[in-house]
Amino acid sequence: MQVGARILPSEHWKSAQRAWRLADQMGFDHAWTYDHVAWRERVGNTWYAAMPTLAAAAGITERIHLGTLVSSPNFRHPVPFAKEIVTLDDLSEGRFILGLGAGSSGVDARVMGKEPWSAAERSARFQEFVELTDKLLRTENTDHSGRYYGAKGACIDPDGRTRTRVPIAVAATGPRGMRTAARHADIWVTNGHSPKPGLIAPSATPDLVREQISQLSRICENENRDPLTIRRLVHLTQDRSILESVEVFVDLATQYREAGATDLVVPFPHETSSAHGDLKVLEQIAATAFR
Strand, helix or coil at 100?
Answer: strand
Q: 82: part of which helix (H) or strand (E)?
A: helix 78-91
**Contact predicate 107/38, CB 8 Å:** yes
Q: Which amino acid is at 75?
A: F
Mean pLDDT by 10 residues, the chain (291 residues): 94 95 96 90 86 98 97 96 96 97 87 90 96 94 96 85 84 96 98 74 90 98 97 86 90 96 91 62 87 66
Return d(Cα 210, Cα 176) in angstroms, integer.
18
Return d(Cα 246, Cα 73) in angstroms, integer.
38
This prediction has a pTM of 0.94
Measuring CA to CA, which residue among 232, 238, 234, 233 is closest to residue 275? 238
Return d(Cα 247, Cα 265) in angstroms, integer.
17
Which of the 8 DSSP states describes residue 45? S
Measuring CA to CA, which residue among 264, 267, 261 is closest to residue 281? 267
> With the C-alpha atoms ordered 119, 122, 125, 130, is the resulting torsion angle positive or negative?
negative
Return d(Cα 27, Cα 9) in angstroms, integer.
20
pLDDT of residue 59: 98
Residues β-bridged to residue 98: 168
pLDDT of residue 289: 82
pLDDT of residue 273: 46
Domain carrying residue 209? 2-288
What DSSP assignment string belongs to 109-159?
HHTTSSPPPPHHHHHHHHHHHHHHHHHHHH-SSEEEE-SS-EEEEE---TT
Strand, helix or coil at 233?
Answer: strand
CB atoms within 10 A of CB 64: 22
Domain count, the chain: 1
Residues β-bridged to residue 66: 31, 96
Residues β-bridged to residue 235: 265
Residues β-bridged to residue 168: 98
CATH value at residue 267: 3.20.20.30
pLDDT of residue 272: 47
Q: What would the pLDDT profile of 197-231 be if each residue is shown by its tens digit?
A: 666 677 899 999 999 999 999 999 999 999 999 99
**Contact predicate 219/200, CB 8 Å:** no
Most distant CA atoms of the chain, gap in Å = 54
pLDDT of residue 201: 73
